[in-house]
Amino acid sequence: MGESKQVVVPDSPEARRLALLGGFAADLIEVADAFAIAETFLGAKDEPGATIYRLLVAHGVVAYARCFADSKVRAKLGTLISVPPEFANTHNALMKLRNRTIAHSESNLQPTYAVVDLSHDGTTVAVDRALSITITTGTPSPDVQQARLLVTELQAALQLELDAAKTAVAASIDEAFANSLWTTGERLQLTPTDFTEWTPDTRRPKYPKSHEVPIYMNVDLDAQAGVDNDRANEGGQSGRNE
- Encode pLDDT of 175-229 as tens digits: 999 999 999 999 999 999 999 999 999 998 999 999 999 999 887 765 555 545 5
User: Quick one: pLDDT at residue 56?
Assistant: 96
Average pLDDT over residues 37-42: 91
Look at residue 99 and tell me if it is in a domain. yes
Same domain, 200 and 97: no
40-49, 123-132, 158-167: the lowest-pLDDT one: 40-49
Region 14-37: what's the mean pLDDT? 97
CB count, 10 Å around CB of 153?
A: 17
What are the pLDDT digits (tens) for 57-95?
999 999 999 999 999 999 999 999 999 999 999 999 999
196 & 164 share domain: no
Same-domain check for residues 173 and 230: no
Domain match, 204 and 179 both: no
Q: How far is CA 134 from the centre of its chain?
A: 27
Predicted pLDDT of residue 13: 97
What 3-state class would DSSP assign to 24?
helix
| Predicted local distance difference test score (pLDDT) of residue 136 | 85
d(CA 192, CA 174): 35
pLDDT of residue 235: 44
**What was the pLDDT predicted at 233?**
44
Give me the number of domains the chain comprises. Answer: 2
* Co-location of 67 and 172 in the same domain: yes
Residue 5 has pLDDT above 50, yes or no: yes
The pLDDT assigned to 236 comes to 47
How far apart, in whole angstroms, are the C-alpha atoms of residue 175 and residue 106?
58
Residue 183 confidence (pLDDT): 96
Based on the domain organization, do 104 and 171 belong to the same domain? yes
Q: What is the pTM of this model?
A: 0.84
Q: pLDDT band for 127, please (50, 70, 90 cuts).
A: very high
- Regarding whether 52 and 147 lie in a shared domain, the answer is yes
Residues 211 and 170 in one domain: no
Domain coverage including residue 195: 186-242
Summarize the confidence of residues 94-107 as an average pLDDT: 92
Q: 191 and 79 share a domain?
A: no
Residue pair 214/195 in contact by the 8 Å Cβ criterion? no
Say yes or no to pLDDT of 99 above 50: yes
42 close to 53: Cβ distance less than 8 angstroms: yes
80 and 180 fall within a common domain: yes
Each residue's pLDDT tens digit, 131-187:
999 998 888 889 999 999 999 999 999 999 999 999 999 999 999 999 999 999 999
| pLDDT higher than threshold 80 for residue 1 | no
Question: Does residue 162 form part of some domain?
Answer: yes
Co-location of 190 and 179 in the same domain: no
